[in-house]
Structure 1
Amino acid sequence: MDYRRTYRSAAIVFADLVSRIPLDRLDGPGLGEWTLRDLLGHTVSSALRQVPTVLADPAPVLVIPAAEAYFGMARTAPPAMVAAAHQASTEDARKTGAALGDQPATVVSGFIGQATAALASAADEDLVATAAGGMRVRDWLPTRTFELVVHASDAAAAAGVPVEFDFETIAESAALAARIAAATGSGLPALRALTGRGPLPSGFSVV
């Protein structure tokens, strides 16, 4: 799969979704404690706005060798660190969501343009500094596609608006979810659930 194409595809689908969400739904429920506006803000921040910044920040050494290892690190981080990261993420989501104003689709499109322009200048093997440590561009960007796909589906469900991704984009993110499950010790339960051989535990998540 072409990770650059799937990222662009996911971003375009997200922008289209945002353009179809009624403005009067933005202050309603989104995900957990977040409003829908907060959720969109988090998605913009985590999957679009930070891309040019990360791609412009080289890392001296490779620390995280694969996309699944990026998410797996959160499972081993100290609880206090996870709680602090969650609080910072919530504050950023609300700030970014507010900055989307009453034309969120226009703002989102601007961030997509900046992200894809930065990506065009990055090489697959470039090492960049991420929140988890040094990663190859080709391993880090699929984590941003994953954010776009998962949170676009969250936003679509919250807004009652349909969303659909092409085969390669959804396949890449679904495969990454399976690899995260395997990397964190839940591969077999996930496989059995996907093949109709048993339910997943209540509250199961790979992230």
Structure 2
Amino acid sequence: MSAPPDGPAGAGGAWDASRAAFADAAGWFARTTAAVGDRWAGPGLGEWDVRALVGHTSRSLLTVEEYLGRPAAGAQVGSPAGYVRATRAIAAGPAVAQRGRDAGAALGAEPAAAVAALAGRVVALVGTCDGTELLTTVAGGMRLAQYLPTRTFELTVHTADLAAALGEPLEVPASAAAQALALVSDLAVGDGRAGPLLLAATGRRGLPPGWSVL
């Protein structure tokens, strides 16, 4: 799912498929957010209420826009899995929870409408790109073609969290699901953890409490 860091990362059908997966994930997020109704203060995920969960998820869109506005001189991170590994400490830090709450508050009085507008704007922006763009992430310089699948993953997983919190169907778009599962596979294989995942996915035995590829 990744091209060499200095090669034509956005060339060909792989970029078109990745861009489509991102658009499908963003659309699912917007549709699920529209189903929240008056449940913004209800339980979302962990210490987050629904608004904070939506706020955190919206950052998967906002960072694409923000990072494209900060061009990088070169690529230090060459794959989606490499980005996840490089940001594990950040993702586990206490600041993440507060950023989610802050992002939820920033959605304002009409959060569902704000999410719909944000999704439309960022999907349109990505539509103008070819994937070779160099952008500055918290892990260092990356090409957009390598960064975007990490955002599709975040959108897909956290929209599933939101749907579960709301009691909505887990109707994950096929394109987004395929890209998210590809990243899960890359992480599990690269970290030597494929065995437990394969056994669990095929019904042999469950995963230990707290087991994760992240």
- TM-score, with normalisation over the residues of structure 2? 0.85
How far is 1:101 from its partner?
3.2
Give the secondary-structure state (helix, strand or coil) at the position aligned to 2:94: helix
Question: Which one is further off, 167-176 or 189-198?
Answer: 189-198
Structure 1 residue 72 and structure 2 residue 85: aligned?
A: yes
Partner Cα distance (1:150, 1:180) in 2: 15
Identity, % of aligned pairs?
A: 40
Structure 1 residue 38 and structure 2 residue 38: aligned?
A: no
How far is 1:158 from its partner?
1.0
Matched-pair contact (CA < 8 Å) for 1:55–1:118: no
How far is 1:54 from its partner?
0.8
Partner Cα distance (1:38, 1:167) in 2: 26
CA RMSD of aligned residues (A): 1.8
The partner residue of 2:160 within 150, 153, 158 is 153
How far is 1:115 from its partner?
0.9
Partner Cα distance (2:190, 2:83) in 1: 10
Partner Cα distance (2:198, 2:105) in 1: 40
Partner Cα distance (1:186, 1:120) in 2: 35
Partner Cα distance (2:95, 2:129) in 1: 28
Structure 1 residue 49 and structure 2 residue 62: aligned?
A: yes
How far is 1:192 from its partner?
2.5
Matched-pair contact (CA < 8 Å) for 2:45–2:165: yes
Deviations 1:22-45 (A, max 9, x none): 21x211211111111110000112
Partner Cα distance (1:167, 1:38) in 2: 26
- Structure 1 runs of 4+ aligned residues shifted over 4 Å read none
The partner residue of 1:12 within 24, 27, 30 is 27
Which residue matches 2:178? 171
Higher helix fraction (1 or 2):
1
Give the secondary-structure state (helix, strand or coil) at the position aligned to 1:134: strand
Letter in 1 for 2:208: P
* Unaligned segments of structure 2, at least 5 residues: 1-13
Partner Cα distance (1:49, 1:119) in 2: 12
Which residue matches 1:61? 74
How far is 1:82 from its partner?
5.9
* Unaligned segments of structure 1, at least 5 residues: none
Deviations 1:131-173 (A, max 9, x none): 1111111110010011110000101111112241222221111
Which residue matches 2:4? none
